[in-house]
Amino acid sequence: MSQTLPTTAGQPAPAAPPPPAKAAKSTGRYAALLKYLAIRFVLIIPTVWILVTVVFFLMRLTGDPITAMLGGKATPEELAKRRHEAGYDRPIIVQYGDYLWGVLHGDFGKTVTNGNRTIGEVLTTYGPATIELVFWGLIVAFVVGIPLGRLAARHYNRLPDVLIRTFAILFYAAPVFFVALVLKLVFSQALHLLPVSGRASVKTALILDTKVDPDTRIYIVNAILYGDPAVIGDVLKHAILPGLALGLLTAGVFIRLVRINLLQTLRADYVTAARARGVAEGTVVRKHAFRNALIPVVTVMGMQIALMLGGAILTETSFEWQGLGYWLAKYLTARDFVAVQGIVTAIAVIVALASFVIDLINALIDPRVRY
Amino acid sequence: MTVALVPVAAPVEPRRKSKIPGLNLLRTTHGLQRAMLLIGFVLVALFVLVGLFAPLLAPYGFAELFSGQLPMSGTHPLGTTVGGYDVLSRIIWGCRTAVEVILLAIVLSTAIGVPLGLISGYVGGPLDRVLVLIMDALYAFPSLLLAIVVSITISGGQAGVVGGILSAAISITVIFIPQYFRVVRNATIQVKVEPYVEAAKVVGASPLRIMFGHVLANVSQSIPVLTTLNASESILTLASLGFLGFGIEPTSAAEWGYDLNKAMSDVANGIWWTGVFPGLAIVLIVTGVTLIGESLNDVLNPLLRTRGGTTTADEQEIAAIVTVTPGAAAAAPAAPNAEGQAS
């Protein structure tokens, strides 16, 4: 959670995009850019490989899935037989080679618990729920984080700034599951406004899981496709508390980021120049400073994906939101290593791709990025 | 022949240093900054003291069982949990666990991360590239997930008294090592081209001596800030591990995350005291540590930088403060210019 927040410190705030460079110059720039991006892209492979390897050996050090599942429940002979059948009695390095070979061919193995599914099935079944949760969380983070950060910067070191900063620190300090607990106590228990947990009520879930074609497995999309306002309302009601719990955590980061970047931009020469020309303060903030201040925020947002995925495990567990995080916790408890390795690999790929895309965006929109 | 030795004017002592820890830091702050720092100190001191004197303060033991769920009363000021534990006692003993885990995690991660960063930055070459790749991979990964995997590996699900705290600390350590590594490595790369390092080489000092004698002293100023920032994260990670059921067993130590996990199902019955109080304890201690960390960060102007010459948000904030208030400008020690570092 303690991600460093890259901003445009010590550099002039980004003003207008660079004037179109002359042909000769731009060839050099784009060649260098392409080379840089190619290297960055190729580096994704060892990054993912390192994570897969680390997780493989860490998990296998504790034993094998069969023993974890049957330990105590089966006779030693039966256990040995099952282990032999699954190949878990071979040297670990052979198993590792085997696993990597499978991964290279797109075969991640099958889960031991929760009905022998392939990892692809697990990802497509539970992934959409996580995407939906992260989507709601991002909306909350934007709606809360950006205006508050802007307000704090405009009233730098005065009461609104102090209050908003305190708010941001408190939301950083409060674990997601505690926020979840308080939200549940207030909105479900005391006020009876919102459901305690789940993605939808039983009836709605049945409709959304079976009667919608094409089935996106993202409930809000399914609900809109189905077109019944009651169903959409039910899905939205279930999304509010989990979205808030995950979103407020990220909002704390956004507040800090927007505030600091806007403060920096407000001191830029062109903003002073605008003020000197007699442009109203509100217009200065809105038209001149705010958009430029948002550039680093946009790029840093991608970095939040790791934070969001970590937060999703806790949020999903708190609200019994059956997404990847919820099931990852279940698989971890059951020591279902095949499932854990598969999900971890997926997360590693997502994180590595996200960081590549951020670098790409950064390189494209920010002319000061050096290669 | 006598030569009159003119005494060379001793360099002016920059500032009278106080012996009381934290006081120097406090002096360099002002206004809002000082208020934040003071609140942070008070909160952290409170938790450390409660942790230290837990046996005297707690009405019961952390694993002492009572008959079922009791509401708040004279004998149980904050009630008891479904499992029959006294909530107040668990919170008080929990301070001790939290402080122990923070200290262990920080000691372990600096002990591993700092030397690794030093060696990687100083030696350079293929070793550096491989280590950077590994550390970056670990750094980008969701830290909580990494901590869970390590925790499962170490404790295998059943943790003893010392083992529980130690394995929680090691799980947290793993996610901090890349952070110390990055900061120290980047600072080392900057420092190793300084003339005094060259001088030490010429004199014939061994690489180890240069690294740990000359370079370390000059990169260590960035470590305390990172440490305070990490302290708050370690509490949150500990609680998250406990909440997900990969933390310390309730019989081996009191841990707030575990209590919150058990409190989650109480919500439906309208029982709020089992969850709200441990949760508040987490919020308060993390707020305290964060306030100190942010103030330290603002005041000390560290070499805490991400790779590639970009700077952190807080450094920017310092820049803003320094330009606005001359009082703070005097306080910021001159840090080596960190621009143009190799990435």
B268 vs A58, A196, A318: nearest CB: A196
| Distances A21 to A11, A76, B88 between C-alpha atoms, Å | 21, 73, 68
| CA distance linking residue A344 with residue A122, whole number of Å | 12
Residues 155-174 of A with CB under 8 A from B: 157, 162, 169-170, 172-174
Report H helices in chain B.
23-27, 31-52, 54-57, 87-123, 125-140, 143-155, 161-191, 195-203, 207-209, 216-219, 223-244, 256-264, 273-300, 313-324, 326-331
Question: B34, exposed or middle or buried, with CB in 10 Å at 0-12, 13-18, 19+?
Answer: middle
Identify the closest residue of chain B to A343 by CA–CA distance.
B145
CB < 8 Å to A61, chain B: 153
Q: pLDDT at position B287, please? A: 92
Predicted confidence (pLDDT) at residue B284 exceeds the cutoff of 90: yes
- Which two three-digit tokens encode residue A122? 């697990």
Chain A partners within 8 Å of B305 (Cβ) = 4
Q: What is the pLDDT of residue A350?
A: 84
Q: Provide the 10 A C-beta neighbour count for residue A14.
A: 19
In chain A, what residues touch B239 (CB-CB under 8 Å)? 175
* Residues A1, B143: C-beta atoms closer than 8 Å: yes
Q: How confident is the model at residue B306 (pLDDT cuts 50, 70, 90)?
A: very low
What three-state secondary structure class fits B311?
strand
Q: Each residue of B9-38: pLDDT tens digit?
A: 545 445 555 556 566 666 666 667 778 888
Task: Answer yes or no: is pLDDT of B285 > 90.
Answer: yes
- The total number of structural domains in chain B stands at 1
Closest Cα partner for A239 from A108, A122, A136?
Answer: A136
Q: Which residue of A has its CA nearest to B132?
A: A47
Restricting to A residues 32-91, those with a Cβ less than 8 Å away from any Cβ of B are 43, 46-48, 50-51, 54-55, 58-59, 61-63
> Residue B286: which domain range?
31-63+75-304
Q: What is the mean pLDDT of chain B?
A: 76
Query: B279 and A181 in contact by Cβ < 8 A?
Result: yes
Q: What is the mean pLDDT of residues B85-109?
A: 89
**Residue B236: its chain A contacts at CB < 8 A?**
1, 173, 175
- pLDDT at residue A368, as a whole number: 57
User: Cβ contact (<8 Å) for A54 and B243?
Assistant: no
Residue A367 is predicted with a pLDDT of 57
Residue B211 belongs to some domain of the structure? yes
Q: In this complex, is the C-beta atom of A264 within 8 Å of any C-beta atom belonging to chain B?
A: yes
Please state the CATH superfamily assignment of the domain spanning residues A44-370 in this structure.
MetI-like (1.10.3720.10)
Set of chain B residues whose Cβ sits within 8 Å of the Cβ of A62: 152-153, 156
Q: At what angle do helices A176-183 and B273-300 cross, to 10 degrees?
A: 140
Minimal Cα distance from A297: which residue of B?
Answer: B313
Residues of A in contact with B284 (CB under 8 A): 173
| A231 Cβ neighbours under 8 A, 6+ residues apart | A204, A207, A208, A223
Q: How far is A109 from chain B (nearest CA, A)?
A: 19
Could you read off the pLDDT of B154-202 as tens digits, one per residue? 776 555 556 677 878 888 888 889 989 988 998 898 888 888 888 888 8
Chain A positions in Cβ-Cβ contact with residue B174 (cut-off 8 Å): none
Minimum mean pLDDT range among A228-242, A275-289, B108-122, B317-331: B317-331
Task: Grade residue B4 by pLDDT with cuts at 50, 70 and 90.
Answer: low
Pairs of residues, one from chain A and one from chain B, whose beta carbons lie less than 8 Å apart:
198
DSSP B211: I
Complex-level ipTM beyond the 0.85 threshold: no
CB distance A55–B149 less than 8 Å?
yes
List the CATH number of the domain containing B168: 1.10.3720.10
- Mean pLDDT for B283-288 is 93
Average pLDDT over residues B52-76: 77
Angle (CA) B56 B61 B65, round 5°: 155
Q: Shortest Cα distance from B134 to chain A (angstroms)?
A: 7
CB within 8 Å: A9 and B137? no
Residue by residue, pLDDT tens for chain A (371 residues) are 444 444 433 344 344 444 444 444 455 667 777 887 888 888 888 888 888 888 888 887 777 777 776 666 667 777 777 777 777 778 888 888 888 888 888 788 888 777 778 888 888 889 899 989 999 998 998 899 889 998 988 888 788 888 898 888 888 889 999 999 999 999 988 888 888 888 888 888 888 888 777 788 888 888 888 888 888 888 888 999 999 999 988 888 888 888 888 888 888 888 888 888 888 888 888 877 887 777 777 767 766 777 788 888 999 999 999 999 999 988 888 878 888 888 888 888 888 888 788 777 777 766 555 54
pLDDT of residue A326: 92
Give the separation between CA B174 and CA A149, rounded to whole angstroms.
Answer: 32
pLDDT reported for residue B114: 92
| Range B264-293 average pLDDT | 87
Q: Is B311's CB within 8 Å of A162's CB?
A: no
Q: For the residues B45-70, what does the mean pLDDT come to?
A: 82
**Using CA of residue B247, residue B253, residue B257, residue B258, what is the dihedral sign?**
positive
pLDDT band at B307 (very low <50, low <70, confident <90, very high): very low
- B143·A306 Cβ contact <8 A: yes
- B270/A351 Cβ within 8 A: no
Q: How far apart are CA B328 and CA B319, in angstroms?
A: 10
Task: Please judge whether A263 and B317 are an interchain contact, meaning their C-beta atoms are less than 8 angstroms apart.
Answer: yes
Selected residues 178-207 of chain A with any CB under 8 Å from a CB in chain B: 178, 180-182, 184-185, 188-189, 196
B218-256 b/e with 16+ CB inside 10 Å = b? bbebbbebbbbbbbbbbbbbbbbbbbbebbbbbebbbbb
Indicate if the pLDDT at residue B275 is higher than 80: yes
**pLDDT > 70 fraction of chain B, expressed in percent and rounded:** 75
CA dihedral A47, A48, A50, A55 (to 10 degrees): 140
For residues A255 and A164, give the distance between their C-alpha atoms in angstroms, rounded to a whole number: 8
> Would the CB atoms of A309 and B142 count as touching at under 8 Å?
yes
Which tokens belong to A190?
A: 């005391």
User: What is the distance between the alpha carbons of residues B150 and A61, in angstroms, rounded to a whole number?
Assistant: 10
CB contact under 8 A, B137 and A6: no
* A350 and B CB contact within 8 Å: no
C-alpha separations of A342 from A109, A123, A328 in Å: 8, 9, 10
Q: How far is A80 from chain B (nearest CA, A)?
A: 20
* Contact predicate A261/A7, CB 8 Å: yes
Contact yes or no for B138/B90 (Cβ under 8 A): no
B112-140 mean pLDDT: 89
Binary contact (B275, A344; C-beta < 8 A): no
- List the domain boundaries for chain A: 44-370
pLDDT band at residue B83, thresholds of 50, 70 and 90? Answer: confident
Q: pTM for this one? A: 0.79
Distance (Å, whole) CA A86 – CA A68: 13
How far A241 CA lies from chain B's nearest CA (Å)?
Answer: 14
Residue with tokens 């960190």: B338
Inspect the interface and report whether the beta carbons of B320 and A313 lie closer than 8 Å. Answer: no
Instruction: Write out pLDDT tens, residues A134-180.
Output: 999 989 988 998 899 989 888 887 888 888 988 888 888 899 999 99
**Which of A7, A196, A347 lies at the smallest CB-CB distance from B267?**
A196
